[in-house]
Amino acid sequence: AATAAVGAVTLALGTASAVTAASASEHAAPAALGGNWYGAAPYVMPFDNSPPDLGPVMSATGQKSFQLAFILAPNGGGCSPTWDGTHPVSSDTQAKSVIDGIRAAGGDVTVSAGGYGGTKLGQTCADPSSTAAAYQQVISKYALKAIDFDLEEPEYENATAIHNEIGAAKILQQNNSGLYVSVTTAGTTGGEGTGWFGKQMLAEAKSQGFTPANYAIMPFDGGFNGSAAQISALEGFHSTLMSTFGWSSATAYAHEGVSLMNGRSDTGEYFRQADFQAVLDYATSHGLSRFTFWSVNRDRQCSPPDNNGQTSGTCSSVTQGSWDFTRYTAAFGGAPAAPPPTDPAPGACTAPAWSATSVYTGGMEVTYSKHTYKAKWWTQGETPGTADVWSDEGPCT
């Protein structure tokens, strides 16, 4: 999530408290939303950045889901969940009021753990099981059907923290039947869609045998120039998912998502309504399972509209109508889940079998474990499917 989201925590909910809260007993265990709604939940900060009244947002856009951010470790340390590091989940009534109001209006929420900055539970808890126990308090408190792990700076540079977070996600998935688990990480303009630490996170998930509903990259704050650069990053990430997990093209698309930033980003990029439409068209036509953005708090026009060339946590810094960008997530959430593209039947394995003793140079192809692999550079003795030097060209027979 964006740096612009991080500010002084406000103790009052502001206008967000205007969402009518139903009794806890009436809305404690709602039915899960269907369609793509958990993958279409835009981020909202309920304690900061002038949280909007979500009832009118729902009425104006048709949006049914929201992703409340962020669950962190306490600022003073410890392994107990808090909102923004300052509001203990155990004693919370304010976020609960917002959640109950969304549910009373026919919607539901997913809660995001992590984000940019702050101390994460994976950094302070001792191991995956204690990290999972902390997150389980959040799931139980709010009767959640979905949870998001936002794994980025600086946490994803800490291998132990990522081991704890991925391990916790796997435990939660196993212990909460039907729980929708998403993972969000940084995007890059390079050909692989995410950087070295993002790929290490994927490798950790593979080693633990964990598969979430999807992995989403954030193609902003990294030299992106509109939707064309974002779609290019998503294509690169699609290839990374295939090569990391051995997935087919269709399976990789079905486990891929995107988390955008509306308006002006922290680094001065601009993503306008036409960019959102282009990425939405790509997501739906390729069968992606998540399309979200940061944030509803920013989905309104500044005064002046360009905010004097500054990025804000409470408005978009571009000309817009109120909730223009939320309408794109509503379109994704309400649309029937698109079947992913059908992979063509694999062709015959024509490349020679890989040999551990042979020398390969960039561009040479081999067959290994019923897949064709292409060498990116000089290699010898590095097993296809496990070494980064090999690009998975797909299955063969």
CA dist 86 and 73 (Å) reads 9
How far apart are the C-alpha atoms of 271 and 298, rounded to whole Å? 13
Helix (H, G, I), strand (E, B) or coil at 248: coil
- CA distances, 371 to each of 66, 313, 355 (Å): 40, 47, 14
Tell me the CA distances in angstroms from 74 to 22, 83, 85, 113, one per residue in order: 29, 8, 4, 13
Beta bridge pairs of residue 260: 293
Q: ∠ at Cα 43 (230, 45), nearest 5°?
A: 135
Q: What is the rounded distance in angstroms from the CA atom of residue 158 to the CA atom of residue 162? A: 6
SS3 377: coil
Residues in the chain: 397
What DSSP designation does 158 have?
-
Annotated catalytic residue 204: no
Single out the catalytic residue among 152, 155, 165, 269. 152
Quote the CA–CA distance of 56 and 61 in Å, as a whole number.
8
Rounded to 10°, the helix 159-175/128-142 angle is 50
The DSSP symbol for 319 reads -
The Cα 362–Cα 368 span in angstroms is 17
Sign of the alpha-carbon torsion through 284, 287, 292, 293 = negative
| Contact of 81 with 138, CB cutoff 8 Å | yes
Taking the C-alpha atoms of residue 51 and residue 344, their distance in angstroms, rounded to an integer, is 47
The β-bridge relationship of strands 43-44 and 65-72 is: parallel
CA torsion 159→163→166→170, rounded to 10°? 170
Contacts 24+ apart (CB under 8 A), 384-388: 384/354, 385/246, 388/199
CB count within 10 Å of CB 246 equals 16
Contact 125, 134 (CB under 8 A): yes
Give me the active site residues, please.
152
